[in-house]
Amino acid sequence: MTQQSNQDGTDWSINIAKVRDNQDRAAFKALFDHFAPRVKAFLMRSGADPSLAEECTQEVMATLWNKAHLFDPTRASAATWIFTIARNRKIDALRKQRRPEPEDLPWGPSEEPDQADALALQQESEKLGEAIASLPAKQKELIEKAYFGDLSHSEIAEQTGLPLGTIKSRIRLALDRLRHAMT
């Protein structure tokens, strides 16, 4: 394991390993005491309001506890890993805020779509289905996870073990192909 110490000599990757291997509460407390205020400050500096920053910080620390096994000290320092989780949680929270809540959605009978619109929608859906089916398998899988599985890029990375940049590139390429197929 590489040495990743901060200024006071603490090797945070060792504490993460203790959490991973033994659910070591003392190691987690040390990580929490050190990183939680820094994560919250980081989120607030990047535009999150205090309550969102607090909520995301709690989620980041819970993720650290539950997913310590995903930390790879050869790929990133403990701080980089934790702040990447924080950034992704903030993005996820902001996306969630933009989605309408069920109470904001219209209720009751809606007017029937006209036949031409229904037929056009059906044809477009079939065309999209064919376009998705024609994607390379690696791109198709990621599109399905992102759009049908409603997973964030970071969740896909955790699930597949692929680097986040690879996931983003494949999804971007797949979307370009789909755009061209639909025009």
Query: Is residue 159 within 8 Å of 151, Cβ to Cβ?
Result: yes
Per-residue pLDDT, averaged over 87-94, amounts to 86
Cβ neighbour number for residue 59 with a 10 Å cutoff: 18
Distance between CA atoms of 34 and 15, rounded to whole angstroms?
11
Answer with the residue of higher pLDDT: 2 or 120. Answer: 120
Nearest to 43 by CA among 34, 53, 33: 53
Options 3.20.20.450, 3.60.60.10, 1.10.10.10, 1.10.287.70; CATH for 126-183 is 1.10.10.10
Per-residue pLDDT, averaged over 153-176, amounts to 91
Q: pLDDT confidence of 4, banded at 50, 70, 90? A: very low
- The gap from C-alpha 41 to its chain's centroid, in whole angstroms, comes to 20
Query: Is residue 37 within 8 Å of 110, Cβ to Cβ?
Result: no
Q: Considering only the top CATH level, what class is 12-98?
A: mainly alpha
What are the pLDDT digits (tens) for 128-160?
A: 888 888 999 999 999 888 887 788 898 899 999
Token pair listed for 181: 């197929």
Distance between CA atoms of 39 and 53, rounded to whole angstroms?
8
Answer with the residue of higher pLDDT: 93 or 68. Answer: 68
Domain ranges of the chain: 12-98, 126-183
pLDDT score of 51 more than 80: yes
pLDDT score of 30 more than 90: yes
Q: What percent of the chain has pLDDT over 90?
A: 45
Q: pLDDT confidence of 3, banded at 50, 70, 90? A: very low
